[in-house]
Amino acid sequence: MTIPTEMKAASKREQSQACLSNAEREQAGATLKVLMNHIYELQKGVRQMVLFTCNKKYSELATQRLESQGIPYVLQPAGQQNLNVYFGRRECLEAIRLIVTRPLNQLTPEEDFILGAMLGYDLCAQCERYCKRKKGKCQCDGKCDGHCINKN
């Protein structure tokens, strides 16, 4: 007799959560809820790729859920306590493996722009962010003390 995959995943989650305190269980539940919303959006085609950041202690819960859904993912440390979990379409993850080779705060303005666009962030906001990071000052080469936008 075989146990359905969903039941196996639920059993593993229950075992993992049995070792947690009530507060940790609540935090794990909230983290899992956010993850499930991202998975739902991915499955409905709202997103092609997701960046989910969680505490490292919840990484097993996150990866078990992704694996039970057959969703490919890439893990990247994010500081001492956190973990970035990229998941979605394989093509996107292959690009992530090539682009995101160091902590996010160390990406070039171009890499940061590409990542934001891949994650579906507002394109105009990404363009503004890119220009600020690339130039480090306003469009007027600092003649306006950095408080203006080129009007043409």
Top pLDDT among 116 and 145 is at 116
Tell me what pLDDT residue 151 has: 45
pLDDT tens-digit series, residues 61-81: 999 999 999 999 999 999 999
Q: How many CA atoms are closer than 13 Å to the CA of 148, on its beta-carbon side?
A: 10
Question: Does residue 123 have a pLDDT over 90?
Answer: yes
Tell me what pLDDT residue 111 has: 96
What are the C-alpha distances in Å from 107 to residues 72, 102, 129?
23, 7, 13
Tell me what pLDDT residue 142 has: 52
pLDDT tens-digit series, residues 5-48: 455 555 555 555 556 678 878 888 888 999 999 999 999 999 99
In terms of Cβ atoms closer than 10 Å to its own Cβ (0-12, 13-18, 19+), residue 66 is: buried
In terms of Cβ atoms closer than 10 Å to its own Cβ (0-12, 13-18, 19+), residue 99 is: middle
Question: Does residue 91 have a pLDDT over 70?
Answer: yes
CA 21/CA 51 separation, integer angstroms? 27
